[in-house]
């Protein structure tokens, strides 16, 4: 289908379709976090070792996002988005039917195959459909309806597992997926940018490096392996990564174009995403577990308190454009990252005797600064992309987001298990282990502000309007 003709006939409902895709993913992620302790009990698995259910999804997304960019450019955004919604819905059904921990992890991988194309392709369609002068507003609008997922997800997940079975947290995706699939046929344009061959060798090297690195983070928290296993896996990750760097310089169309890192705003945005999201990605995973496992609150109570940050996120989202326009990306990102680091550290303050309502001020601030951080990091990464490199830059951003979320959960779980086993520090007390984990994650987030200090005051002004 002719791309220029499509551009002239963009449906005004396209941002709503992209928002629906983000809603499905965000609901699935947030509804799962509050249900993990219950799922662990039902599947006879350790509640502190459930991160593979989350990591397998995020890592699969990161691996397959480059494929989604190539597929959508070659076969069209409409065709690939339709397939993505179908696979995501099918994966949700498989998760609901899982009878063991391993089957649940495999079903999450199937679900992630659809998710790896669903959100990136919808965002790519927006990049092709709208000029830069409107892109910040469109992206902000798309994210806001998608935030309904985090708003209702924690409470809905806790409530479902308290009154019924955890299987229903996946079954509710099915009617949404069916409606989305029908909606796609009328709204999604079929943008194509063919001509490139798929880089199968680069895909293998890139995937091997990420899988090895993820395994290193996963088993790094265990103590049942020989001493040489963990450093060997790290060496494999470095070796495959190095091979990919050398290989990508010798081909015309690598699966991940490392030359895009020469775009300074993209490079800084991606690095900031990676390190800042180590803390952001850990909080939704760790906080419900701390409330249920260490503080002995119910799933519904932990879900209800997590709603506070989601409400704050939505309210703050409406102010992001105004803030960036007034202060510029550099000031906003440096200041906001520092605040975010301190707020994450504040989750170490409560204990079992702390009333839940005293967590509300911390969660309100966390939700607001998290909202500002997400939108600012994502849009500065896209600020200087031309149409020729939009697909590659969009894929890099999506990969970095998913990798950092995966690594955030893995790193958070690793720190938790390490502090728990360090008896001289915590005395084996799980409550103290959570406390030290949040402190360490807060420090990591604080250090990420140094990355954004490399921005120039005028960076992203074409998108933000700040002079």
Which tens digit of pLDDT belongs to each residue from 21-42? 888 877 877 788 888 888 888 8
Mean pLDDT check: name the lowest of 244-248, 288-292, 457-461: 457-461
Task: Pick 465 or 187 by higher pLDDT.
Answer: 187
Residues 45 and 102: beta-carbon distance below 8 Å = no
* 443 contact partners, CB below 8 Å, separation of at least 6: 341, 345
H or E stretch at 245: helix 229-248
What average pLDDT score do residues 3-32 get?
Answer: 72
Q: Report the alpha-carbon distance of residue 249 to residue 236 in Å, rounded.
A: 20
pLDDT for the residue numbered 163 = 87
Q: Count CA atoms within 13 Å of residue 132 on its CB side.
A: 16
Q: Are 260 and 388 in contact (CB under 8 A)?
A: no
Cα 340 to its chain centre, rounded Å, is: 17
**DSSP class of 352:** T
Helix (H, G, I), strand (E, B) or coil at 13: coil
C-beta neighbour count of 333 within 10 angstroms: 29
Question: Is 70 exceeded by the pLDDT of residue 7?
Answer: no
Q: Under a CB-based contact definition with an 8 Å cutoff, are residues 449 and 344 in contact? A: no
Residue in the structure block whose two tokens are 């939108």: 375
The structure tokens listed for 343 are 């707020």
Q: Above pLDDT 90, what percent of the chain?
A: 18
**pLDDT reading at 8 higher than 50:** no
Which value, in Å, is the radius of gyration of the alpha carbons in the chain?
Answer: 21
pLDDT band at 84 (very low <50, low <70, confident <90, very high): very high
The size of the chain, in residues, is 467
Are 464 and 329 in contact, with CB atoms under 8 Å apart?
yes
Residue 56's CB is within 10 A of a number of other CB atoms, namely 21
Choice between 216 and 100, residue whose per-residue pLDDT is larger: 100
Q: Cα–Cα distance between 21 and 23 in angstroms, integer?
A: 5
**Beta carbons of 298 and 307 less than 8 angstroms apart:** no
Rounded to an integer, the average pLDDT of 261-284 is: 87
Whether 321 contacts 461, CB under 8 Å? no
* pLDDT at residue 463, rounded to an integer: 66
What are phi and psi for residue 130, nearest 5 degrees?
A: -120, 145
Comparing C-alpha atoms, which of 237, 165, 235 is closest to residue 206? 237
Helix (H) or strand (E) holding 6: helix 3-7
- Name the residue among 300, 344, 343 with its Cα closest to residue 154: 300
Q: Are 18 and 117 in contact (CB under 8 A)?
A: no
Q: Dihedrals φ, ψ of 427, to 5°? A: 70, 20
Q: Tally Cβ neighbours within 10 Å of residue 449.
A: 20
Residue 369: pLDDT over 50: yes
The residue among 304, 363, 295, 23 whose CA lies nearest residue 173 is 23
For 82-96, 135-149, 306-320, which range has the lowest pLDDT when averaged over its residues? Answer: 135-149
Mean pLDDT of 275-288: 87
What pLDDT sits at residue 437? 93
Burial level of 427, CB count in 10 A (0-12/13-18/19+)?
exposed
Band the pLDDT of 2: cuts 50, 70, 90: very low
Model-level pTM? 0.78
| pLDDT at res. 439 | 94
- What is the DSSP-derived secondary structure letter of residue 294? I
Helix (H, G, I), strand (E, B) or coil at 50: coil
Between CA 89 and CA 110 the distance in angstroms is 10
Q: Any idea of the CA torsion for 18, 19, 25, 29, to the nearest 10 degrees?
A: 160
Q: How far apart are CA 343 and CA 346, in angstroms?
A: 5
Instruction: Please give the pLDDT value at position 197.
Output: 75
195 pLDDT band (50/70/90 cuts)?
low
Give the Cα separation of 380 and 375 in Å (integer): 9
pLDDT in tens, 376-415: 888 888 877 777 777 678 778 878 887 887 888 888 888 8
Burial of 133 per CB tally in 10 Å (0-12, 13-18, 19+): exposed
Instruction: Please determine, for residue 286, whether its predicted confidence score (pLDDT) is greater than 80.
Output: yes
Average pLDDT value for residue range 335-357: 92
Give the C-alpha separation, 301 to 55, whole Å: 25
> What is the pLDDT at residue 426?
67
Q: Quick one: pLDDT band at residue 5, thresholds 50, 70, 90?
A: very low
* Mean pLDDT of all residues in 85-109: 92
Q: Which of 191-195, 289-293, 333-337 has the lowest mean pLDDT?
A: 191-195
Q: Which residue has the higher pLDDT, 325 or 171?
A: 171
Residue 256: left if φ>0, alpha if ψ -120 to 50, beta else—which one?
Answer: beta
47 touches 184 (CB < 8 A):
no
Position 281 scores a pLDDT of 82
Bigger pLDDT: 157 vs 65:
157
Is the pLDDT score of 443 beyond 90? yes
- Cα 10 to its chain centre, rounded Å, is 28
Mean pLDDT (whole number) for 171-188: 88
Crossing angle for the helix pair 51-75 and 390-421, to the nearest 10 degrees: 170
For 10-24, 32-46, 208-222, which range has the lowest pLDDT when averaged over its residues?
208-222
Report the b/e string of 372-382 with b at 16+ CB within 10 A.
Answer: bbbbbbbbbbb
Q: What is the share, in percent, of the chain residues with pLDDT greater than 70?
A: 91
pLDDT at 221: 52
């Amino acid at each position: 289908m002719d791309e220029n003709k499509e551009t002239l006939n963009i449906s005004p409902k396209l941002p709503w379709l992209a928002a629906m895709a983000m809603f499905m993913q965000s609901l699935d992620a947030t509804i799962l976090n509050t249900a993990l302790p219950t799922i662990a009990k039902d599947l006879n698995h350790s509640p502190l070792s459930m991160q593979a259910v989350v990591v397998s999804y995020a890592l699969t997304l990161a691996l397959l996002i480059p494929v989604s960019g190539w597929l959508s450019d070659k076969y069209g955004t409409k065709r690939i988005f339709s397939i993505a919604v179908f696979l995501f819905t099918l994966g949700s059904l498989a998760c609901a039917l899982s009878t063991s921990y391993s089957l649940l992890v495999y079903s999450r991988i199937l679900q992630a195959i659809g998710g790896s194309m669903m959100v990136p392709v919808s965002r790519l369609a927006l990049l092709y459909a709208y000029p830069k002068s409107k892109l910040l507003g469109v992206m902000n609008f798309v994210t806001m309806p998608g935030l309904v997922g985090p708003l209702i997800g924690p409470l809905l997940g806790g409530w479902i597992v308290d009154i019924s079975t955890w299987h229903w947290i996946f079954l509710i995706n099915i009617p949404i997926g069916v409606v989305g699939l029908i909606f796609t046929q009328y709204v999604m344009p079929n943008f194509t940018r063919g001509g490139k061959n798929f880089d199968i060798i680069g895909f293998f090297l890139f995937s091997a490096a990420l899988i090895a690195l993820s395994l290193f983070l996963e088993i790094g928290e265990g103590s049942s392996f020989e001493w040489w296993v963990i450093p060997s896996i790290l060496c494999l990750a470095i070796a495959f990564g190095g091979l990919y760097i050398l290989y990508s310089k010798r081909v015309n169309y690598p699966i991940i174009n490392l030359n895009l890192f020469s775009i300074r705003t993209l490079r800084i945005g991606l690095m900031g995403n990676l390190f800042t999201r180590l803390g952001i990605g850990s909080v939704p995973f760790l906080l419900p577990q701390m409330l249920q496992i260490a503080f002995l609150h119910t799933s519904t109570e932990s879900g209800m308190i997590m709603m506070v940050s989601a409400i704050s996120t939505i309210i703050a989202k409406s102010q992001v454009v105004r803030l960036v326009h007034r202060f510029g990306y550099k000031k906003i990102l440096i200041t906001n990252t520092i605040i975010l680091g301190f707020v994450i550290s504040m989750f170490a303050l409560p204990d079992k005797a702390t009333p839940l309502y005293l967590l509300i001020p911390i969660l309100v601030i966390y939700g607001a600064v998290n909202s500002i951080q997400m939108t600012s990091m994502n849009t500065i990464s896209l600020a200087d992309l031309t149409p020729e490199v939009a697909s590659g830059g969009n894929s890099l951003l999506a990969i970095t987001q998913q990798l950092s979320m995966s690594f955030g959960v893995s790193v958070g779980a690793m720190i938790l298990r390490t502090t728990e086993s360090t008896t001289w520090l915590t005395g084996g007390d799980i409550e103290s282990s959570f406390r030290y984990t949040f402190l360490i994650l807060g420090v990591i987030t604080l250090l990420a502000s140094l990355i954004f200090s490399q921005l120039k005051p005028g960076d992203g002004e074409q998108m933000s309007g700040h002079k």
